[in-house]
Structure 1
Amino acid sequence: MDVSTPEAAAAHFAQRPDTELLYLARHASRYPPAVGAAAVAELQRRGLVPEAPAPIPAPPPTEAPSETWGQLLRQLGKGLFWPSPPYVAVPLLIDLNVLVWLLMVGSGVSATDPTGRELATWGSNVSSLTLHGQPWRLFTSLFVHGGATHLLLNMISLWLLGLMLEQRVGPWRLLAVYLASGLAASLATVWYHTGGINSTGASGAIFGLYGFMLALLLSKKMVLDKFDRRAMLGLVAYLILSNLISGLTGNIDNIAHLGGLLMGLLVAGPLAIFTMSNEQVGNE
């Protein structure tokens, strides 16, 4: 039996009877592999054994549908504006600031360059009014902004810093420090600017959150290793100094920034930390 090549094996088995081929195919394990394969091939050629069906190719792996820009923007918007634990205070504060600006624009105030009179109408911190029967302006001025750019810059800072803090200290402590720092910023403004001022914006309250972050880091209430703590301290110090330096030029109220910073660092922040008892703030 010559099965040295596939051609020789095929020629040999083409001359063998069906019964011999069936026997060889059925007992192929007793013979060299080439014998069984050649017998099966000849039986298939004669139509006595069905050919093995071709394997069905596996379907290509389905890729998870990529998120569209619209979906990403909706998720970002939800994170920015929709209060959902652990982020409650920051979205609410952003919502309130944006709502006041939208109402101002809807009433006819310029979206980018409102006048001083328009800002005063909506509750800005005007010394002559605040100190003479309208102390509520110390708070309302925190939610009034002098245009879209002013609002956008403050809300980005509030979002980035606020979320980092709120996850660690909770919404109520963050809100308390924010409002206390904002009040201190407004008081510092009317105290320092004896000639009168018309002040607006959330930056004084945001500087209070910077102070709160510094208080957490300096008290070692925030659990970080030595290198991460130094890096975070350096980052916060850089942000504070860069904002104060930029405030030396232009129509920026650095006194409000300093008032809010000192309140968050020396008073409101330490008080909030005291209420945390023996808790430690993780870097989760």
Structure 2
Amino acid sequence: MSKKRPKITILLIVINIVMYLLMTVAGGSTNPNILIEFGAKDNALIAAGQIWRLFTPMFLHIGFQHIVLNMVTLYFLGMQIEYLFGPWRFLVIYLVSGICGNIASFAFTPAISAGASTALFGLFGAYLMLGESFRDDPYIRTIAKQFLVLVVLNLLSDLTGSIDLWGHLGGLIGGFLLGYVMGAPQIGKVEMHKRWLALAGLVLLFAMIFVRGMHTATA
């Protein structure tokens, strides 16, 4: 692992913490009105034109435990992904995966939601892509297998709780496809046909999911 400071990962953590503190001062991060005011995912408002709510929820958290768990995960996972993909590819994967997760949540989950986990599952997905593309690398293969187990366990736990399963799945799939689209030149070459297929799949899949969400929210 590189000794370079994971600057983008740290910047994202700082932004999340600042937003949490602002929400706390404004009236509490568990207050539904504060969540809506700061940009949490609300299906009716998205359908009414507030599309930016597919972006802002990944920087909001509901309670202290929520932000601590997500920021610890972001630090350790982000540090690895930022090194393997490079800072700017990492940032694109993180942000677009978060949007993909929020689109899936918009389409399939009626509840108000917020949290970085849509983007974090995107980072898991990107690492699973590395495990598929660079399976001959023993380190990547081992870590990818460990992450796969962790992802499965998390998704199973989502089924028994009030966690946004669809947001996690959307982020995971988005990150997996984005891994191909962005490539990882520091590790090796991803075949061009895979990159184009992944881009087409990403755009078509989440466009269809978004249309479904708009139809459901306005029905």
* Residue matched to 1:251: 162
Counterpart of 2:12 (choices 93, 98, 103) is 93
Superposition deviation, residue 171 in structure 1: 0.8
Partner of 1:199: helix, strand, or coil? coil
What's the TM-score once normalised by structure 2's chain length?
Answer: 0.79
- Aligned CA-pair RMSD: 1.8
* Residue matched to 1:132: 48
* Residue matched to 2:25: 106
* Residue matched to 1:149: 65
Please tell me the residue identity of whatever aligns with 2:117: S
Superposition deviation, residue 223 in structure 1: 6.9
Q: More helix per residue: 1 or 2?
A: 2
CA distance in structure 1 between the aligned counterparts of 2:64 and 2:153, rounded to whole angstroms: 21
* Residue matched to 2:191: none
> Contact 1:223/1:280 (CA < 8 Å) preserved in 2?
no
Partner of 1:257: helix, strand, or coil? helix
Counterpart of 2:39 (choices 123, 129, 133) is 123
Change (3 A) 1:122 1:264: same
Please tell me the residue identity of whatever aligns with 2:179: G
Poorly superposed stretches of 4+, deviation over 2 Å: 222-225, 228-231
Q: Which has the larger radius of gyration?
A: 1
Partner of 1:185: helix, strand, or coil? helix
Superposed counterparts of 1:154-193, under 5 Å: 154-193=70-109
Unaligned residue ranges in structure 2 (runs of 5+): 189-219
Post-superposition CA distance 1:149-169 (Å, at most 9, x none): 111111111111110111222
CA distance in structure 1 between the aligned counterparts of 2:87 and 2:140, rounded to whole angstroms: 23
Change (3 A) 1:198 1:186: same
* Residue matched to 2:187: 280
> Contact 2:125/2:175 (CA < 8 Å) preserved in 1?
yes
Superposition deviation, residue 121 in structure 1: 1.2
Post-superposition CA distance 1:157-206 (Å, at most 9, x none): 1111110111222110110000110010011111113xx32010010110
Number of residue-to-residue matches in the alignment: 186
The one of the two structures with greater contact order (alpha-carbon pairs below 8 A, sep at least 6) is 2
* Residue matched to 1:234: 145
> Contact 1:138/1:187 (CA < 8 Å) preserved in 2?
yes
> Contact 1:124/1:140 (CA < 8 Å) preserved in 2?
yes
Between 96-105 and 242-251, the greater mean CA deviation after superposition: 242-251
Please tell me the residue identity of whatever aligns with 2:180: P
Please tell me the residue identity of whatever aligns with 2:60: V
Superposition deviation, residue 230 in structure 1: 4.1
Change (3 A) 1:169 1:241: same
Identical-pair percentage: 38
> Contact 2:27/2:34 (CA < 8 Å) preserved in 1?
no
* Residue matched to 2:129: 215
Please tell me the residue identity of whatever aligns with 2:42: V
What's the TM-score once normalised by structure 1's chain length?
Answer: 0.62
CA distance in structure 2 between the aligned counterparts of 1:233 and 1:163, rounded to whole angstroms: 15
Superposition deviation, residue 147 in structure 1: 0.6
* Residue matched to 1:224: 137
State yes or no: 1:271 paired with 2:181.
yes
Superposition deviation, residue 249 in structure 1: 2.2
Superposition deviation, residue 101 in structure 1: 0.2
Change (3 A) 1:234 1:85: closer
* Residue matched to 2:111: 197
Superposition deviation, residue 129 in structure 1: 0.6
Please tell me the residue identity of whatever aligns with 2:131: L
Superposition deviation, residue 233 in structure 1: 2.5
> Contact 1:86/1:167 (CA < 8 Å) preserved in 2?
no
